[in-house]
Amino acid sequence: MRHEAFWMPYTPNRAFKAAPRLLARAEGVRCWTPEGREVLDGVSGLWCVGAGHRHPRIVAAMKRQLDTLDCASNFQVGHPGAFELAERIAAVAPPGLDRVFLVNSGSEACDTAVKIALAFWRAQGQGQRTLLVGRERGFHGVGFGGISVGGMTANRRAFGAAMLRADHLRSTWDPATQAFVRGQPAAGADMADELERLVALHDASNIAAVFVEPVAGSTGVLVPPLGYLQRLRELCTRHGILLVFDEVITGFGRLGAMFGAQALGVVPDMILFAKTVSNGAAPLGGVIVRRQIHDALMHGPPHLAELMHGYTCSGHPLACAAGLAMLDVLAEEDLLGRVRALAPHFERTVHELASTPGVVSVRNLGLAAGIELAPSPAGTGQRGAAAQAAAFDLGVLTRAPGDTLVLAPPFVSTPAEIEQMAERLRAAIVQTHTEHPEGSP
């Protein structure tokens, strides 16, 4: 097989094509290479496959959909699946959030929410509210709205001249006090008070919205301190600023509730979702919006669209079929309960990696964990990349943002499979630590 034509996303293409790592098939918690070697899926595809790969109910629903309606636009003509999916998502969302705009990815969800926020304030006669507030080490997709409000410097570096107006809160990560904390740190709620500094600097009347992930997943599972999100909610309410939760990772079960907002006890004004909503079987995402925000835009000439925004495949029939089937699976197989039951064992297992040579932090919440390695003197990220590659060879799929290895297993994993994933990850860490000990490149 030739590999030159495909320009891979978020991948060092030259290194990959020199030594490709390929998956040919998958089922449940396991994947297999073209040669037939088993690899445990330690990251649920890419935070997506909560119900396990090729879940028969989801596969069957998508096949039925292809037999009846393969493609339909939702531009001024609709199909039943999109309306049913939106109703069912609204029914399980936090109270007051009951309007759903469907898209195809988390990146599109973030840019959609940015547009909704700006349009809302313009409709309110406050069109000067254009400043967005994100958080350092936050990831909100790869659209220009997402990288503007996001706080990952590598994503922003090449595109700085095209950014939207944005400022950033500090990350919730404090290595001095949180390195091996289990679950939410007890101290640190006052980190949210930094929003007061930004309000004083920019004035609340110029700020449209604050965007945060309940748990920052893409930069290595950064867990909010107890009370942090509640304090952020209080401050946004006081200053009349919209609060947006990016739940592309935490939505649909990862923290043992349908949304992280419910697991952590905070209701934002908008929720972004994607990934697990379709079990990764089809591209699907969206924005759940507080009704007052939606209704503020339902004005103007009745023959014109109230929001000039959308995508050709927004609410695609095949994606909606996958989403509806996933909602059935979540409910009927009690996957949220399974996450809650498995999470304590997962926590104990990942924290046993703390004694592994080179590990400097272990962080976790729900079925998400980050195991951080001491960086190589040769450069940040090199040890993480080496351990990720070694883990694949040893039979577990992980992700390495920087020098942090991520474990985010499917919700249907067994305790024994969690232990296998952790042991294979430990072996990869030991192997690469031995090959590149501290003080050597």
pLDDT digits (tens, 9 = 90+) for 9-47: 999 999 999 999 999 999 999 999 999 999 999 999 999
CA Rg value for the chain: 22
Mean pLDDT score of the chain, rounded to an integer? 95
The pLDDT of 183-188, averaged and rounded, is 97
DSSP 430: H
Q: What is the pLDDT of residues 63-95, one digit of tens each?
A: 999 999 999 999 999 999 999 999 999 999 999
Q: What is the pLDDT of residue 439?
A: 38
Q: How confident is the model at residue 162 (pLDDT cuts 50, 70, 90)?
A: confident
Render pLDDT for 328-348 as a digit per residue (tens, 0 to 9).
Answer: 999 999 999 999 999 999 999
Of 115, 135, 140, 118, whose CA–CA distance to 127 is shortest? 118
1-5, 138-142, 198-202: which has the minimum mean pLDDT?
A: 1-5
CB of 373 closer than 8 Å to CB of 358: yes
pLDDT for residue 153: 86
Q: What residues does 178 pair with on adjacent strands? A: none
**How confident is the model at residue 437, as a pLDDT?**
57
pLDDT at 435: 67
| Rounded-to-integer distance, Cα 50 and Cα 277, Å | 9
Domains and CATH numbers, the chain: 13-54+334-435 (3.90.1150.10), 59-332 (3.40.640.10)
Longest Cα pair distance anywhere in the chain, in angstroms? 68
CA nearest 354: which of 345, 344, 364?
364
CB 132 within 8 A of CB 118: no
- pLDDT value of position 440: 38
Instruction: Report yes or no: 393 and 424 within 8 Å, Cβ to Cβ.
Output: no
At residue 355, the 3 state secondary structure works out as helix
Query: What's the pLDDT at 185?
Result: 97
